[in-house]
Structure 1
Amino acid sequence: MKAAPEDQVILLDVQRLDNDVTRIEHRITSLRKGDQLTELGTKAAALRGELAAATGLVEDAERELARLESDTAIAQARVERDTTLLQNVANAKDAAGLQSELDSLQRRIGDLETSELEVMEQLDGLRARVGDIEAQLADADAARAGLAAERDAEIARLEADRASAVQSRADVAAKVPDDLLALYDRQRARYGFGASLLQGGVSTASGVTLTASDLQTIRAAAPDDVVLCPDSDAILVRTPESGL
């Protein structure tokens, strides 16, 4: 294929803009995957599980406390009833029976009140744990929301950059002859690079120094010959800095 040297040089700008588009797209993909957001989401999910468990323990303790308080109230009501009966009973045997029951009820109330204190202490600890988890969850949710907002803003900026690069690429590519551009697109689709600058005997696409034999073949080619890089298969663009 033949193409004017100046048209071949334009391919370097096309390649640069294609590289920009690819780089931006990779960055957008990376941001959308959101590794940090995933980590925060996993952390928040774990905290919600902990919160549900801790809240369940608080509810269990509250029910136990309510039961103990109810039992204490019932026992105290019976103490009041038996005390009134004892004050009015005339039979010694009945009085002894009531006194025995009162003593038993007082012990029962003492045990219940001890249990109430223990449960209340547990409840304080459990409620503190719930509060701590809620604070951690709020922090995680706030961090995730902030990170998501930053990510969305960055993606919007990158999408604008991509649109600009795509338009610039189209404007530059329009200056290249159709057959030359088609070859560039084909080589880039196959090998990742469509054009490579030969600079000081090095193909910039591959980063490899061409052999003396390859350089000799390239020197023998006419300026308007389209030459492919022996290492990257990209169109090898020759300029005064190529070292030929």
Structure 2
Amino acid sequence: MPLKASPSDQALLLDLQQLDTTLQQLAHRARQLPENAALAELDKQTATLRARLTTEEGTAEDARRELGRIESDVAVVEARVKRDHERLQSSSSQKDIQALEQELTALANRQSDLEDVELEVMDRVEQSGAVVEATQGELDELAAKRGELDAEREASLATVESERTHATANRTTIAQKVPADLLALYERQRERYGIGASHLRARVSSASGVELTGNDLATVRAAAPDDVLLCPTSDAILVRTDESGI
């Protein structure tokens, strides 16, 4: 037996559909907030900077290790110089004295070379450290921006959620007024086709934007006012009103 519902009950479906459309739009707004795109871009920049920072920290660490090795070599040379000076002071052998003096000369040259390299590496340590510090500063700035954007997104989401709560409450109120069998059909058609109810206005289905053909219009005109019809172009419930033009 074809489903029957009063025109006034069928008209409630248009209000229900409008609220469902509003809820879909609100969900889309929540997904497409401009803050989301800005946060995604910040995350991309942050990932790039973190990768760069890892490389820079590796370079800085290499320089520090090299400096440590050179400082160790310098300490060894200094210890040998100190030892040779002490031996030189206590030695009475001309041969030993001559050998110690030659070694001290070689050590002095070695120490001079090491200190030149040490200065160069110290400069590299300083420069690489400054680079790391600068990149970390950029990351800190991005983190601060992200915090601000997070707060803005939360505020935007709160607004959307408030509107969603209001629309949901209104939908519940209207749905309670719709007969159960009519509501079940509406929900089924909406789940299948995306739209549950279509307003026939000036012979055009609002769901599809298509004007009904002569045969379809004849079927609609022949139907009783309480007959529940489906739109031939969208499969949504076709709601007729004074604006239908039939």
Q: TM-score, normalised by structure 1?
A: 0.85
Structure 2 residue runs of 5 or longer lacking an equivalent are: none
The superposition leaves residues 13-32 of structure 1 with CA deviations (integer Å, 9 ceiling, x where unpaired) of 0100111122223444566x
AA matched with 1:62: R
| Structure-2 residue corresponding to 1:97 | 99
Q: CA deviation at 1:85?
A: 4.6
- Equivalent of 2:70 in 62, 65, 68: 68
Q: How does 1:190-205 map to 2 (within 5 A)?
A: 190-205=192-207
Asked whether 1:185 is paired with 2:198, we answer: no
Aligned-residue RMSD, C-alpha = 2.5
SS at match of 2:235: coil
Q: How does 1:218-237 map to 2 (within 5 A)?
A: 218-237=220-239
The superposition leaves residues 51-93 of structure 1 with CA deviations (integer Å, 9 ceiling, x where unpaired) of 3343233233223213322322332343344345546655432
Give the distance between the partners of 1:38 and 1:99, measured in 2 at CA: 69
Give the distance between the partners of 1:177 and 1:85, measured in 2 at CA: 112
| Structure-2 residue corresponding to 1:147 | 149
- Equivalent of 2:57 in 55, 58, 78: 55
Q: CA deviation at 1:188?
A: 1.6
AA matched with 1:175: K
Question: Bigger CA drift: 92-101 or 20-29?
Answer: 20-29
| Structure-2 residue corresponding to 1:215 | 217
Question: Bigger CA drift: 207-216 or 58-67?
Answer: 58-67
Q: Flag as ranges the 4+ runs of structure 1 deviating above 6 A.
A: none
SS at match of 2:178: coil
| Structure-1 residue corresponding to 2:175 | 173
Give the distance between the partners of 1:189 and 1:206, measured in 2 at CA: 16
SS at match of 1:76: helix
Give the distance between the partners of 1:7 and 1:76, measured in 2 at CA: 101
Give the distance between the partners of 1:179 and 1:143, measured in 2 at CA: 52
- Equivalent of 1:2 in 4, 27, 34: 4
SS at match of 2:243: helix
Q: TM-score, normalised by structure 2?
A: 0.85
SS at match of 1:175: coil
Question: Bigger CA drift: 168-177 or 13-22?
Answer: 168-177
| Structure-2 residue corresponding to 1:21 | 23
Give the distance between the partners of 2:243 and 2:97, measured in 1 at CA: 120
SS at match of 1:61: helix
The superposition leaves residues 172-228 of structure 1 with CA deviations (integer Å, 9 ceiling, x where unpaired) of 222223332222222222222111111222111011121122122222323332221
AA matched with 1:158: V
| Structure-2 residue corresponding to 1:130 | 132
Give the distance between the partners of 1:65 and 1:91, measured in 2 at CA: 39
SS at match of 2:195: coil
